[in-house]
Chain A
Amino acid sequence: MHATFSYPKYSFTPSDEQRTGSVRRHPVVIVGAGPVGLTAALDFARKGVPVVVLDAEDTVSVGSRAVCYAKRALEVWDRLGVGQRMIDKGVVWKIGKVFNGDRMVYQFDLLPEPDHKIPAFINLQQYYLEDFLVAQARRSDLIDLRWLSRVISARQEADHVVLQVETPDGVHAVEAGWVIACDGAKSSVRKMLGLEFQGEVFKDRFLIADVVMKADFPAERWFWFDPPFHRKQSALLHMQPDNVWRLDFQLGWDADPEEEKKPERVIPRVQAMLGADTPFELEWVSVYTFQCRRLEQFRHGRILFAGDSAHQVSPFGARGANSGVPDADNLVWKLALVLDGKAPESLLDSYSDERVAAAKENILNSTRSTDFITPKSEMSRVFRDAVLELAVDQPFARALVNSGRLSTPTTYTDSPLNTPDGDSFAGKMVPGAPATDAPVERDGQSGWLMEALDGRFTVLYAAGDGRVPAEVAEALDGPAAGPLPLAWHAVTDRRRGIAGELVDSAGRLRERYDLTPGSVYLIRPDQHIAARWRRFDAAALSAALDRAVGHAAGC
């Protein structure tokens, strides 16, 4: 199997500290070189923080696994310089179709709006994604990737963590100021700390068959309830690069996972779906069950959990990797400021608060999808089937059809880092919301707002017809030269010749942020809105910045 991809073998090189037997203290050690750990490593490197990444294996994800990557994760990767490579290799899509039997009952468009740099979704085998992330990490001198390095114990001291790491050359100690555990759903760090990982187990099994074939299905997500080729169960189809197709078949709880993985069981299922005369090859087969569960808190002293080690969801909705990447995005800027002495350690608690809220939202959505796909009671099945039956002719019922609510970023509505609105604004860019993109020109080049939100705090000043009052410019130059990483941009309607101006010639930024002349937005390093005003006020900006780095009164 795996005719379309050959797995890289990353070699183990003993570190200096292991060779010489001297223990070194690293500011940050990341456990796990999966999508979340590597994203965190790239972000730290971009902020000038050296990191050690320990991984127990010496290759990328075995099997295509995650496959669906959402806009928000891609925006993070784009900021880190690796998103375009994923988009170029991936299959871009945004349309989902849901069938009951052989009739389409529901269709959704995940990005109905034009003028965004990053697409709604791409499909890409997880091994490619990790391969690209590793390649990008290797270009940085600040990222020390250590393969075949398994963490076997973790001990927290007052101001650091001691990890015992087992490698082909034996066991040695590594000290870390902070540890980020990105070691997956079966996290060994979580087990070492004896933390509860509680939630719900779903009694159902699903078969994944990745097949290689030439097919003319469109680049869309197709989901069937009760299809003619797989009666009384659900099925899912996704296009991947290299003519690989992801087929997913619901099997029911009583299915025997070992039997169901055998080609003689899988091939007839695939043939029933594709037709007996469609040639295909099996690329990868897996039978999975799933759970929805999370840690109570994601920060435990100097150990922070991110990704599947902190929360697990069902695959319906693509909310696994797509919520792990925003974990890293949320954590890294905060920890970088703490390491730099520019924010109190308590800022890290907001990482847990904000991402626990996101995990709750993801688990809620994922659980609801699962309840629809795998009804837990007879009456639940009756209502599900009634919805599907009505959805054919009744538009209202289509909204109730739940084959997975696809990953969207979480708005940190209740975050203490937000400055509540004092002025009224229309639209979605409320404090705590992820910034939405818009086309802008910068220095005569067409580009995107997201490119200007480059990992620093950003202030946007709506300059309307091009005037930025001298006292405003002066008051913005102050924080831009201050201790916090911050940039400010005037937003103009056409080229006005202001340094750093973002020219909003299409008016999308004005429209999406409800800008009027003089409006101000403060946006966090992770591209979430921190505060906004209708009129510039230097003291209010300064207070909002303090609050966004955890210095607010009461924190």
Chain B
Amino acid sequence: MAKLMTEQRFASPDDVYQLLIDSHRDLTPDQSTRLNAKLILLLANHIGDAEVLAEALRVARQGME
């Protein structure tokens, strides 16, 4: 069973962070929301494992209950 990997995995974390931020440049809040939704769907499919996704969602929701 695959497990959500939460250790740091990027060779260049700052590049990845900048990639995310730059992709939203010049977008309206609505367009950004759309982009994020499409990104989540693409990545969720790439992961291809509902359990990993469920675990990621659980972690992401922490502090919101």
Contacts and interface: CB of A to CB of B under 8 A. Distances in A.
Asked if A and B are interacting partners, one says yes
Interface of A: 382-383, 385-387, 389-390, 394, 396-397, 400
23 contacts: A382-B33, A382-B34, A382-B37, A383-B37, A383-B40, A383-B41, A385-B34, A386-B34, A386-B37, A386-B38, A386-B40, A386-B41, A387-B41, A389-B34, A389-B38, A390-B38, A390-B41, A390-B42, A394-B42, A396-B45, A397-B41, A397-B45, A400-B41
Interface of B: 33-34, 37-38, 40-42, 45
A383 B36 CA distance: 9
A382 B34 CA distance: 6
The 9 A-B pairs of least Cβ separation, nearest first, read A386-B37, A396-B45, A386-B38, A382-B37, A383-B37, A382-B33, A390-B38, A386-B41, A390-B41
Given A382-B33, A383-B41, A386-B40, 7 more contacts: A386-B34, A386-B41, A387-B41, A389-B34, A390-B38, A394-B42, A396-B45
A472 to B, nearest CB: 44
Contacts of B34: 382, 385-386, 389
A389 B42 CA distance: 12
Contacts of B33: 382
A389 B40 CA distance: 13
A382 B41 CA distance: 11
Contacts of A394: 42
Contacts of B38: 386, 389-390
Nearest to B38: A386
A265 to B, nearest CB: 31
A441 B47 CA distance: 49
Contacts of B40: 383, 386
Among B34, B37, B40, B45: residue with most chain A CB under 10 A: B37
Nearest to B30: A382
B31 to A, nearest CB: 11
Contacts of B37: 382-383, 385-386
B60 to A, nearest CB: 13
A385 B40 CA distance: 13
Contacts of A400: 41
Contacts of A382: 33-34, 37
A237 B37 CA distance: 30
A419 to B, nearest CB: 31
Contacts of A389: 34, 38
Among A382, A385, A387, A397: residue with most chain B CB under 10 A: A382
Nearest to A395: B45
A385 B41 CA distance: 11
A382 B30 CA distance: 9
Contacts of B45: 396-397
B64 to A, nearest CB: 13
A104 B34 CA distance: 21
Contacts of A397: 41, 45
A284 B42 CA distance: 43
B57 to A, nearest CB: 13
